A and B are shown apart, each in its own frame.
Chain A
Amino acid sequence: MKSFLPWILSCIAAVSMTMGCQRSRAGMTVAGSTSVEPFAELLAEEYMSEHPEAHIYVQGGGSTAGIEAVISGAAHIGMSSRSLIDAEKKLYAVTIAKDAIAVIVHPSNPIEDLSLDKIREIFSGKMANWKNLGGPHHPIDIVTREEGSGTRESFQKFVMGKEDIDLGALVQDSNGAVRQVISSDPNSIGYISLGLVNDRVKALRISGVQADLANVNNGKYTLVRPFLFVFNGEPAEEAKSFLDFVLSPSAQKLLLKEGLVPVVEKLD
């Protein structure tokens, strides 16, 4: 029994010392949209390799959660994949890149091209069979994102307008999960970030317009949303330095390579 007490005390001392250590290494937290997260992680890695003393922690959680974290002070920078709503307009937001939303189907699907009206009919559940669109006689499996997702909000705004997405639609909670479902189900249709489209899924042309960077840049492809960094007030110190890096030509070129549309005109 006698030897117990000092042991416990030393444990407590050790724990409090490591906690102290963590505090002195505190860095900057970037939190928000899961659509922006992979790109922010990439940028943070690049930035930290250039600035070895910097620590940037990138977390997901969603656009709304990221914006709330900035307001509450839990994060230094919020990531948003949707425009700010009126109540959030007092925040300082910078567009770091633009992202197109691609409507995707299984590669074996014979359909190559749909108009926005047809896509709206499919997602609202009015067009329930591929046969009516010139495809096989099979019900359409709609795949959508969960309520509150920035990608879903953008899709709702650009495509659905006032109509609701069918309640029978499958709901997945990330771009990657939607892509996984579409790539394994030949009768499905969904939407994800253009940058995440790979050869396991097929991006549809929308009224003849191919979903690619050229058409996003010349304004023909209209399903485009901003990726925002959100700050509580004008960014300063580390946050400013990181933002400057993100808007630099080298970082923007990196984003272009990953499939996003840069916001800086000159990349060289």
Chain B
Amino acid sequence: MQLQEKIISKILLLIAFSSIFILALITFFIFEEGLPLIWKVGAKAFLFGEKWIPSKGLFGIFPMILSSFWVTVGALLLGIPLGLACTIFLSELLPPSVGTFFRPAIQLLAAIPSVIYGFWGLIVLVPLIRNHLGGPGMSILAGSLVLGFMILPTIITISEDALKALPPSYKAGALALGATHWQTIWRVLIPAARSGIVASVILGMGRAIGETMAMIMILGNAVKMPTSFLDSARTLTTNIGIEMGYASGDHRQALFATGIVLFFIIMALNILAIFLSRRRAH
């Protein structure tokens, strides 16, 4: 190899490592800032405490863990059926020429900044819910609806890839055995692509749990335990987003500790998604 090529390859190696280095740095920093507070108040009081009043030294994030959970469940209830229906339509029922128009349109959904989703939710959905269903309008329901649409591109793109990756013989074989087109889709193709579809849903969950800006605008950010879908709520991410500007001392550390909890949730989801999509390959 020429000297110059060696130098270039070393430079590229360095650049590749720098991204991993930055990840390690962020991880270290979050833990270094957040762990002392968890030791101080106790992991149980932190994770399962029901009151978050930083000015009184109360740092319980259980309401936020629950809210994150419910908002995500709501988003999946909307996102999975819609996403799956859209995937089947795109990959099986739509003529390819129309598909070339539809696919970029769906990917465009992912390109819309989340603050726009939030603004739309705030101006359109929130008053609708307040006027017709009651409560303050800023609610888990509003957040779930918006998130349901936000995770659609993730679910659709990845599960469509999973369907496309199936050997053509599956479809041909099923049709040759006399199955209708719909039976082929529902009984053969979807079960065969199951692990990829599940992985897409899990990545969508990761997106839902991580969403911050839109949720700050729509959820109303109240810190009490959520008791209904019409209640205002605060997720783990919005807790950090809304309070970081003013936080100092223990309060700031508690926000980093919230980040640690998020870190573990997202890590677990991603590992699960990778594990499931690997299994498909074997």
| Contact surface of A with B, Cβ cutoff 8 Å | 1-2, 4-5, 8, 34, 60-65, 68, 141, 146-150, 156, 164, 166-173, 180-181, 184-185, 187-188
- Contact between A171 and B51, CB atoms less than 8 A apart: no
A4-B4, A148-B248 given; A173·B137 CB < 8 A: no
B2 at the interface (CB under 8 A from A): yes
- Contact between B220 and A170, CB atoms less than 8 A apart: yes
Nearest chain A CB to B250 CB, angstrom units: 11
Q: Closest B-chain residue to A186, C-beta based?
A: B130
- Contact between A171 and B223, CB atoms less than 8 A apart: yes
Chain A residues near B192 (CB, 8 Å)? none
Query: CA–CA, A147 to B221, complex, Å?
Result: 11
A141-B136, A170-B136, A170-B232 given; A147·B222 CB < 8 A: no
Q: Apart from A168-B224, A171-B220, what 19 extra A-B contacts exist at CB < 8 Å? A: A1-B8, A4-B8, A34-B245, A60-B245, A62-B245, A65-B246, A68-B248, A147-B243, A148-B246, A148-B251, A167-B51, A167-B52, A168-B231, A168-B232, A170-B232, A171-B234, A172-B221, A180-B122, A185-B130
Q: Closest A-chain residue to B2, C-beta based?
A: A1
A170-B136, A170-B232 given; A61·B245 CB < 8 A: yes
Chain B residues near A65 (CB, 8 Å)? 245-246, 248
Interface of A is mostly: mixed
- Contact between B232 and A62, CB atoms less than 8 A apart: no
Considering only residues 236-263 of chain B, those with a C-beta below 8 Å from chain A are: 242-243, 245-248, 251
Q: Closest B-chain residue to A156, C-beta based?
A: B55
Query: CA–CA, A150 to B246, complex, Å?
Result: 9
Q: Closest B-chain residue to A8, C-beta based?
A: B11
Query: CA–CA, A2 to B248, complex, Å?
Result: 52
- Among candidates A34, A64, A168, A184, residue contacting B127 with C-beta atoms closer than 8 Å: A184
Chain A residues near B53 (CB, 8 Å)? 147, 164, 167
Considering only residues 1-51 of chain B, those with a C-beta below 8 Å from chain A are: 2, 4-5, 7-8, 11, 51
Query: CA–CA, A141 to B135, complex, Å?
Result: 8
- Contact between A64 and B220, CB atoms less than 8 A apart: no
B145 at the interface (CB under 8 A from A): no
